[in-house]
Amino acid sequence: MMIKMKKNKIWFTEKFTPGEKHSHRIKRYLIRKNTGLQKVFFADTYSFGRCLILDGEMQSAEFDEFIYHEALVHPALILHPCPKRVLIIGGGEGATLREVLKHKTIEKVVMVDIDSSVVQFSKKYLKKWHCGAFNHPKTELVIADAKKYLENTAQKFDCIISDLPSPIKKGPAYLLYTLEFYQNLIKKLNLPGFFASQAGSGNLLQIELHSRIYATLNRVFSTVYPYYQYIPSFDVPWAFILCSNKKISNFSAKEIDQRIKNRIRGQLKFYDGLTHQGLFSIPKNIREILFKEKGIITEKNPCFFYK
Amino acid sequence: MKKSQKKIPLFDTIYQHARRRVISFHTPGHKNGRAIDKRLREFTGKNLYYFDVTVFPEVDSLHDPVSAIKRAQKLTAEAYGVKHSFFLVNGSSVGNEAMFLAACNPGDSVILSRNAHKSVLSGIILSGVWPIWIQPKVDQNLNIIFDSSPEQIEQALNQFPEAKAVFVTSPTYNGVTTDLMKIIEIVHRQGKVLLVDEAHGPHLKFHPDLPISAVEAGADLCVQSTHKILSALSQGSVLHFNSELIDVNRVRKIVSMLQTTSPNYLILASIDLARRQVVLYGEKMLNSIIKSAEEARRKINQLKNFSCFTRGEIRASGYDLDVTKLTINVTHTGLSGYKIEEILNKEYNIQVDCADLFNLIAILGIGSTRSDLEKLIHALQKIDLKYNGETPKVEETLQLPGLSTEMVMMPRDVFLLQKTKRIPLRKAGGYIAAQTLTPYPPGIPVLIPGERITPEIRDYLLELSKKEIRVSGQETDTLKTIKVVV
């Protein structure tokens, strides 16, 4: 992970491609530890406030994490007729949990993260992210490999949300971006069941991972809708994919707003009916990339993100 | 990192003073080294003694710091990410005593593991607390003792919800750390205070491949022996305060009560220097030390009769390991650790930090070099060949008697009692112990002042007295008699 000091200034550099890097100046860092699963870095940056960086990849920043987490969670939960049981894969910061718990229909949320250190550091240093969500009576926190958890559980869920870091070599997440994983996952969904996942970078120079995830999900789910949102602290349009084992109805902005009003406790800052329309309006060139992609990700043929 | 971390206010102040060659009418009596014995002065050079000053305004006071020491302590607190840091000149021992006195009142209960350091028992006696003992777990394969796990602490807190504080030693002498993040969550959730003896871990925060430090986990009070690993002189330690539950002024007062009014300024300056060094260069220096340590570990594990447990093995038990500590298991050589330590010292000019029946502990510090380790490996290789299966393997294993203990009197009350007497061990059943008895192995007290001598414990000690096991705290040559409360 690239953290360098130059003339008393500490910079964290995120690699985008072999030819492009972005650097954030660090005010101070709170934790810098290798947990055995991943390299964990909690720091306060000048640009985006407090951040969590795993294996050199920006995961969330104080400044704009609401954009990422609302975009990840709400389309799936709003479009679902009545989500009661939700599974979150990853999401160590607790913010995905926070957003899910805003839905009044929720009866239970299970969150499965593999790295107890990240969860514990987040509980301590990211209070503004989880806002006490870890202690909510409807929350069940499980520290485990989500792949194994899903293989072994008899439970079924209305929505499953995948909030994992990008797949990298020797990283803890890469097997959870495979055909085999998705084939097993769909069995643990109720009917109708929704699967929403963060799906890689939508940046044209990095988009290969995303298009392959899309192609892989297309093999498993009958309905697959990608959507994108620019996240300032990532400095790229980030990709998400919403899948279902049933057809997803189209809702107007007004209908979405009505659902938000009925179902959500508190205020949302990013997502509403109009935002929803924008999210799913994909540019022509991206649609063409997705259409052309044939590469399926499997356990034997995994895909690694450049970091 | 702020630019200010480059500063060394205490060192600079004393250095500037030293250069002036001020005429001394203040203590100490050697007067800038003039009267230091010639042999010593020639060996060290005379400049050293100009640093040995006492308290006067130019060099600030440890007990009421307003200038250089205040700034140095502030920089240390910033470096470690805590609210306040107090420099200690009597090692972590005084830090441990201070933690008990600051966090607890007489009669409070504290949960802790039985394998705590001697100074911890001192702290218990001085502060008049009721210790609630957790029986440490032992790894029979690795021959080491673990400090309390989060599960053990949670269980103890459930059983004794009135406890005021939890005290943990992490890293242990072997460099094994416990899951402080989990423990902090459990302890703080119940409104209790976490005290950590992190004497062996002043460096942990400064490298990502080292375990999590107590300061990162947010311990209320934690003591570090800067001198053990970093470049401070012996006795140079720091007490870190980072609590919402304890009053910092009480900590300040206690620390002041326990420390000398004639602190050694060379020690204090060396803490300041060690802090700057670890902030600016620590990661780079620790990088090479960690690499060398891991390489040494690999080489030791290739030897026939020596082994050195790995971080992976420790992590499998739910703990973590500071790899810069090499616990070298010698049981297969047929010789005891004490014997190997002696051989290393006499034949190879190498001194390890400690030895017991089963293990040697070689501690790397920020000043360790790759070539030091190469010499150690070379020596072990030679010993490995020489003592190859000649003598039988050591038969003893590290076993903890499954003895339950019952503390019926506060250790302080026992200590203050005038009426104790020595009685024969075989008649001691039912009495209350007035001394600590710690057999080595395992190095865990079987009896602590205030505990009742049950028939089981008496029988166990009678067994021990027949063997040639070293028992510390005995006060007599044999284990025939024991001091009890009358």
Reported ipTM: the value is 0.82
CATH number of A65-292: 3.40.50.150
pLDDT at B392: 58
pLDDT digit string, tens, across residues B301-340: 999 999 999 999 999 888 999 999 999 999 888 888 999 9
Asked if residue B420 and residue B476 are part of one domain, the reply reads yes
Whether B332 is covered by a domain: the verdict is: yes
pLDDT at A186: 96
Secondary structure of residue B125 in the 3-state scheme:
helix
- CATH class held by domain A2-61: mainly beta
Interface test with B, best of A2, A3, A8, A41 (most B CBs within 10 A): A8
pLDDT at B397: 60
pLDDT confidence band for A43 (50 / 70 / 90): very high
Asked if residue B137 and residue B242 are part of one domain, the reply reads yes
Q: Which residues of A touch B211 (CB under 8 A)?
A: 33
Give the lowest-confidence range in A292-306, B129-143, B380-394, B466-480.
B466-480
The whole-number average pLDDT for the span A84-110 is: 97
Whether B34 is covered by a domain: the verdict is: no
The closest CB to that of B218, out of A33, A40, A124, belongs to A124
Asked if residue B455 and residue B373 are part of one domain, the reply reads no
pLDDT confidence band for A293 (50 / 70 / 90): confident
Quick check: A172 pLDDT over 70?
yes
Beta bridge partners of B139: B144
Of B263, B293, B317, the position where a domain reaches its end is B263
Whether B28 is covered by a domain: the verdict is: no
pLDDT at B229: 97
pLDDT at B459: 86
Check which CATH number belongs to the domain holding B440 and give it: 3.90.100.10
Rounded to a whole number of angstroms, the distance from the CA of A7 to the nearest CA of chain B is 9
pLDDT at B400: 65
pLDDT at A3: 83
The whole-number average pLDDT for the span B387-399 is: 62
Quick check: B468 pLDDT over 90?
no
Asked if residue B299 and residue B373 are part of one domain, the reply reads yes
pLDDT at A33: 94
pLDDT at B283: 93
Domain boundaries, chain A: 2-61, 65-292
Secondary structure of residue B367 in the 3-state scheme:
coil
Asked if residue B301 and residue B434 are part of one domain, the reply reads no
Kindly determine whether residue A116 and residue B208, on different chains, have CB atoms separated by under 8 Å: no
pLDDT more than 70, % of chain B: 95
* Spatial CA neighbour of A144 closest among A112, A175, A185: A112
CA B410 to CA B412: how far, in whole Å?
5
pLDDT digit string, tens, across residues B138-182: 887 887 889 999 999 999 999 999 999 999 999 999 999 999 999
Asked if residue B440 and residue B322 are part of one domain, the reply reads no
Whether B391 is covered by a domain: the verdict is: no
H or E element, residue A124: helix A116-125
Rounded to a whole number of angstroms, the distance from the CA of B472 to the nearest CA of chain A is 38
What global pTM score does this model have? 0.90
Angle between helices A208-220 and A179-187 (to 10 degrees): 40
Mean per-residue pLDDT over chain B, rounded: 91
Whether B270 is covered by a domain: the verdict is: no
How far, in Å, are B97, B192, B221, B245, B450 from residue B108 at the CA level?
A: 15, 12, 17, 15, 16
pLDDT digit string, tens, across residues A203-243: 999 999 999 999 999 999 999 999 999 999 999 999 999 99
Kindly determine whether residue A8 and residue B208, on different chains, have CB atoms separated by under 8 Å: no
Q: What is the domain extent for residue B207?
A: 60-263
Whether B392 is covered by a domain: the verdict is: no
pLDDT confidence band for B390 (50 / 70 / 90): low
pLDDT at A100: 97
Interface test with A, best of B7, B82, B185 (most A CBs within 10 A): B185
Amino acid at A284: K
Residues of A forming the active site: 163
Quick check: B424 pLDDT over 70?
yes
Quick check: B48 pLDDT over 90?
yes
CB atoms within 10 A of CB B257: 11
Asked if residue B129 and residue B204 are part of one domain, the reply reads yes
pLDDT at B426: 87
* Spatial CA neighbour of A32 closest among A22, A42, A24: A42
Check which CATH number belongs to the domain holding B124 and give it: 3.40.640.10
Q: Are A181 and A296 in contact (CB under 8 A)?
A: no
pLDDT digit string, tens, across residues B256-282: 999 999 999 999 999 999 999 999 999
Check which CATH number belongs to the domain holding B300 and give it: 3.90.1150.150
| DSSP labels, B146-204 | ----HHHHHHHHHH-TT--EEEEE-S-TTSEE--HHHHHHHHHHTT-EEEEE-TT-TTG
The whole-number average pLDDT for the span B240-248 is: 96
Whether B395 is covered by a domain: the verdict is: no
Domain count across chain B:
3
Q: Quickly tell me which residue has 């209320």 as its tokens.
A: B220
Q: Are B189 and A120 in contact (CB under 8 A)?
A: no
- Which residues in B have their CB inside 8 Å of a CB on A? 1-3, 6, 81, 181-182, 184-185, 208-212, 216, 218, 315
Kindly determine whether residue A31 and residue B212, on different chains, have CB atoms separated by under 8 Å: yes
Kindly determine whether residue B208 and residue A39, on different chains, have CB atoms separated by under 8 Å: yes
pLDDT digit string, tens, across residues B25-41: 999 999 999 999 999 99
